Structure formats: structure tokens, C-alpha cells
Chain A
Amino acid sequence: MRGTAAHIVRTLLLSLITLFGVSILIFLMLRVLPGDPARVLAGLNASEEQVSRLREQLGLDESLLTQYWGFITGVLQGDLGESARTSRPVTAEIAVRIPATLILAVVATVIGSVVGVAAGVIAAVRRNSFVDHAISSVAMMGVSMPVYWLGLLLILLFAVTLGWLPAAGSAEPLSIVLPATTLAAFSTALISRMTRASMLEVLGQDYIRTAEAKGAPPRTVIIKHGLRNAFIPVLTVISLQFGALLGGAVLTETVFGWPGIGRLLVDSIAARDFAVVQGIVLVYAAAFILLNVIVDVLYVVVDPRIRY
């Protein structure tokens, strides 16, 4: 366990370099985007004078190096700057949106993991049966259907036709059901395919035969001896999916009017609100690194052969 602690500290220290690189990249990428933020903010009818005043106000007339220095020293002090649109601190803007995104990602990941692993195990145990083929077909649909399309279909059925669930927003507790289901569809499909493949490999191993020779009933063989071994690669997929859901829920958030961070990011890019975009990207990067560290620790828990 001491090795694991040292590994975590090392990973976190190394990640500082990663974050530094990310900050430079996103800073430069925003600057090469076509379109002048000052002009976008000032509006179509603004005079040249107004635009240049705004530009000065935002510090955009200074050299890139000076601008970056201002940005990075702010970051180190926990200050991500101010939104050009709302004039509120970027940290506040992000903090308001994070809970909605986080809860959506967590619920979708939980759905995806539970349903995906269960479906994958059943498909592996009953391989080449009708059930296996049915699960494969549904999973194929889940992987290939665009989320906005699936989202609209679900809204049409459950909100409009049946009226069981709210169509959009986040006001009611049940509001999360449709966006989370939509978001979980792809993960569920992916996780079930991964689980099936991994289970099939594990179920052919010698130690499965040993467990059977001991007189273990099928459930014990499949869950205790099979799934624990098969889960190791599945864990990787689940964590990657969770990371993707944290950042990639833009379409789902848009379809369902979900006030998450994905929409804030897209809106901010459209408005050339540099400070907000930079802030969100940095937060994403930090979250991904944290997630990887957590998964590294989980590997140790699941697989005793892994030690750092």
C-alpha cells in the first residue's frame, strides 16, 4: 500500500506538468480562433471606438505573453478570471454548473455499469443463444444511434405521448431520468460488449474449471470466480466513459435543456468568452487526472497482482 501512496503522489506531481501544457494549448487555440471577442461582445451595432474600448478592458490589446502571464498567475492563485459576458468570476460560473453535470454523469455511469455488466455477463454465459443475439442487437443500436435522436424519441414517447416524465429542465427529481437514460445508452452498450468479451475469455480459464471441480454452483463460478477477473478491463472502460460523460454531455444537455457545464462551454466558445472556456478546459483536465488516479487505486483493490 505504501507503494500505491507513492505512486499517487508521483502521478499528481507529474500531472502538474500536464495541466501546464493544457493551459498553454487552450490559451493559444482560443487566440487563433477567427473572430474578435470584443467585436462579438460589443454587438453588431457597436462603433469602432466602443469595440476598441472593450478590447482594452479585456486586456486583449496586450501581447500574448502578457496575457498568458496574467492568466496563469491568476490560476495559481485560484482565480480563473472573469466572464466577459456576465462579468462574474469564472469559478462562480463553473461552480454553479458543476453539480448538474456531475449528477448526470454519475447517474448515467451507474446505469451504464449496472445494466452493461449484467447484460454482458448474461450474454457471455448464454453465448450464441437467442438472449445473446438479442443483447448484441440492442447494444449495436445503443452504440450507433446518435444521442440527440435517441433523446428526441424518448421525449416524444415518455414526455409527450405518455406524459410520465418531464421533457426538459432540471426542476423536478424525475427530470434526470430521460437525459441520464439517453446518456447511458452508449456506455451501456460499450460496457456490455466489453464485459461479454472479457467474461468469455475468463470462463475458458483453468481456474474456472478448478472452481467447478470443487463443486461450486454456477452462480459462484460466474460471479465470484468469473466476474471478479473479468472486471479488470471493464473497469478501464467504465472510467473512460465516466470521463467522457463529464465533458461530452453537450448534445444531451442541449436536447433536454439541462443546465450543465457542457452547454456553458459551447455557449462560451460561441461568444468568444475566453476566460470561461479556459477555465472549463482546465477543470476538465484536472478532473480527468483525478479520475485516473482513482482508477489506479481501484485496480489495486480489484486485482491483487497490481502493485505500484
Chain B
Amino acid sequence: MSSPVLSIRGLTTEFVTPAGVVKAVNDVSWDLYPGETLGVVGESGSGKSVTAMSILGLVQSPPGRIVAGEILFDGRDLLTMSARVLRQLRGSQIGMIFQDPMTSLNPVLTVGQQIAEALQLHDRGLSREQARARSIELLTMVGVPNPEGRYDQYPHEHSGGMRQRAMIAMAIANDPKVLIADEPTTALDVTIQAQVLDVLRTAQERTDAATILITHDLGLIAEHADRVIVMYGGKVVEVADVLSVFAAPRHPYTLGLMTSLPRLDVELERLDPIPGSPPSLIDLPTGCSFHPRCRVSKGRDVCRTQVPPLYEVGGGQRAACHFSEEVPAEMAVAARAMGTDAGNGAP
């Protein structure tokens, strides 16, 4: 594989709150390679979005602060560079698509102005007319009908799907090397989701940007990602290519995510959720932070006392579990309970 376009090493981001220090991202490391789509999954509060905000340098401080780690982009550390240099990268080299297109666009500026601004911020020489022409091109690319007319409309005159297309146009305006999509379809209608994802995929192919797709939707990951990172309690618990993860997850949490999904092919009385609730990031469980909810641990001491590192489990797959070799057997149990074959675990 070629060298990564983005490398995160030991990233730790905290928030200081009256109740205590929240470790939102806790010693996270991963690489993003050119052209790939990296899926980042995990439930709310697992640190997915904070990781993205840390990359862009947009963690509000106070209360947030990045206390350790480095984020290497093209060999340069984003965390130590000056605000000015980082600003030049934001929106040009690294594009970002946010979750809620209803609130992410400025209500008093036209959609076109906001796309043109993204262009002009990074190309001072660009005239108004050129920026307009290029913005209309971008709107066309993301499948906005009547782009000339849409250019002069305000966000409130656009539907959610149209707004998210505009957000994508804005994010890819400067052909970024890295595109971060943070729950890009969560706020949209199901019928619109597929269209927006198609647009995202097209945009990504045109710009050849490496994409970080942050989501809690495993279906989205299965369809769009090349590799997967599973986060839990601010830590990476499993890394693998998408096929391996769905065929043979090696972390009990990943397995739990998969078995708790509703399925079309099996008649189920009820879903099989992960017991318990997400951990408090102020007061994480000792050892493996997943152990209170884990069905593999079975109360073994090591789970309570030692933090498992990300073990290599073969085929480039890594899992932060002391007993990752027991997970496939557990999966077979779960599959039998559902009456299906474990090998075709993909939802």
C-alpha cells in the first residue's frame, strides 16, 4: 500500500466540564490511504465526531483541548502548525460535510454565495464571475436541478437533500485530498439518503479524495467503505477491511453491533441489543472499557484489570480484546440463535 495521506497517532482529546474531565478521544491512532473510504463506526459518544473535529482543528477550546498525539497530513503535524496555515488546509485540502444540512448552511447568505466563498477563500485571484461559474458547475455535478436558479436561492428555499448536495459541493469545491463526511445522511429522509450517498460517491470519484465516512449505520459501511474502524468509549477497538469485519468480527462490541441489527432475511421476535449503556467518558470502567457489557469476557479478571492493546489478529485485522479468538465462536452462537449461517453476516 502507498503511504497514508493522513496519519493519526495517539490522539487524545478531552473536554473539561464541571462534572469532570471527559476523555472523548483516548489514544486513538489510524491511517487513511489515498483514494480509500474509511468507515468510522460507533455509537453516540464513542469519539467519532470529536476525532473529525480534532483533525480540522475545530474543537472548541475551552472546554475542549487536545492533550496528546499528532495528526500528520502530507507529513506535517496539523496540531502544531499555525492557525493560519491550518486555515489554508481547511476547506481546500480537507473538506468536511456535516450531519445536519438544515442548520449547517448560513440562513442569510444564498447557497451560491456560500459555495463561491469556499472557492474564493482559497483562490484570491478568482473573480466573482469565475467563482459563480465554477459554483454552478459544482451544483450541476452534485445533481442539483436548475443550478443557475438554485445558486441565487437561500437555504430555506431548498429541501434537506438539496442542501446536503450543496454542502457536498462546498466540501469538494477545492478538490480536497481528504473528505470527511460526518453522518452525512442521518438527518435526511430514507429515500433521499441513497441519492445523497450516490452524489457523495460520484464526488469522491471525481476528486479522488480519500474519504472518512463517520456513521453509526453499519449498512452504510457495508456498502460504501473499504476499511472500517470501530470506536467505543473514545478508543479504537477494531480495525479491518470491510469484508473481514462483516465476515468475522474479532471484537465483542463489533459483534454486538452486528447482532443487534434488524434483518430482512430472518423473522425475529425481537432485536438482540448490547446489554447496558455506553460508558461514562468521565469515569471509564477499568481495564477494557467494554467489559461490563461484554458477553465474551464472562467475568474474567484480566478484562477488568488490563487495558487490551490493539492486537494483530491476522489479515491486517486488529482488535483490542484479550480474547478476540473466542469471538467467532460467540458469533456462531448468535447466528444459531437467529437460525442463520454465521459466514454471511453482512447485513
Contact = CB atoms under 8 A, between A and B. Distances in A.
B106 A211 contact: yes
B96 interface: yes
A229 B91 contact: no
Nearest to A213: B96
Contact of B104 (A210, A229, A302, A303): A210
B237 interface: no
B136 interface: no
A194 B91 CA distance: 32
Nearest to B173: A214
Nearest to B86: A215
A229 B58 contact: no
Contacts of B107: 207, 229, 303-305
Contact of A207 (B96, B103, B154): B103
Q: Classify the secondary structure of A's interface with B.
A: helix
Nearest to B119: A214
A228 interface: yes
Interface in B30-67: 56, 58
A206 B100 contact: yes
A17 B47 CA distance: 61
B90 A213 contact: yes
Contacts of A206: 98, 100, 103-104
A303 B156 CA distance: 11
A213 B58 contact: yes
Contacts of B105: 207, 210
A272 interface: no
B192 interface: no
B3 to A, nearest CB: 25
Interface in A224-273: 224-225, 228-229
A93 to B, nearest CB: 45
B98 A210 contact: yes
Nearest to B118: A214
B170 A209 contact: no
A252 B103 CA distance: 45
A207 B167 CA distance: 11
B51 to A, nearest CB: 15
Nearest to A302: B108
B121 A216 contact: yes
Interface string B139-175: 0000000000000001010000000000100100000
Contacts of A304: 107-108, 110, 154, 156
B92 interface: yes
A211 B121 CA distance: 10
Query: Looking at chain A, what size class is its interface with the partner chain?
Result: 20 to 34
Interface string B114-133: 10011001100000000000
A215 B108 contact: no
B306 interface: no
B164 to A, nearest CB: 12
Contacts of A211: 106, 117
B117 A216 contact: yes
A42 B106 CA distance: 67
Contact of A215 (B87, B103, B104): B87
A294 B232 CA distance: 56
A207 B104 contact: yes
A212 interface: yes
B100 A215 contact: no
Interface string A127-164: 00000000000000000000000000000000000000
Contacts of B87: 215-217
B121 A215 contact: yes
Nearest to B56: A213
A205 to B, nearest CB: 7
A225 B104 contact: no
B88 interface: yes
Given A206-B100, A215-B87, A215-B88, A305 B156 contact: yes
B89 interface: yes
A220 B108 CA distance: 14
A214 B121 contact: yes
A265 to B, nearest CB: 40
Nearest to B153: A304
B117 A209 contact: no
A9 B117 CA distance: 38
A303 B155 CA distance: 12
Nearest to A225: B106
Interface centre among B96, B98, B103, B104 (most CB of A within 10 A): B104
Contacts of A225: 106, 109
B154 A215 contact: no
Contacts of B170: 210, 214
A41 to B, nearest CB: 57
A229 B103 contact: no
Contacts of B90: 212-215
A302 B98 CA distance: 26
Contacts of B98: 206, 209-210, 213
Contacts of B96: 210, 213
Contacts of B117: 211, 214, 216
A304 B111 CA distance: 12
B106 A207 contact: yes
Contacts of A229: 106-108
Interface centre among A206, A207, A210, A216 (most CB of B within 10 A): A210
- Counting from the closest, the 4 A-B pairs by CB-CB distance are A215-B91, A214-B91, A206-B103, A215-B90
Given A210-B98, A210-B104, A213-B98, 6 more contacts: A212-B90, A214-B90, A214-B121, A220-B121, A229-B106, A305-B154
Interface of B: 56, 58, 87-92, 96, 98, 100, 103-110, 114, 117-118, 121-122, 154, 156, 167, 170
7 contacts: A207-B106, A215-B88, A215-B91, A216-B91, A220-B121, A304-B154, A305-B156
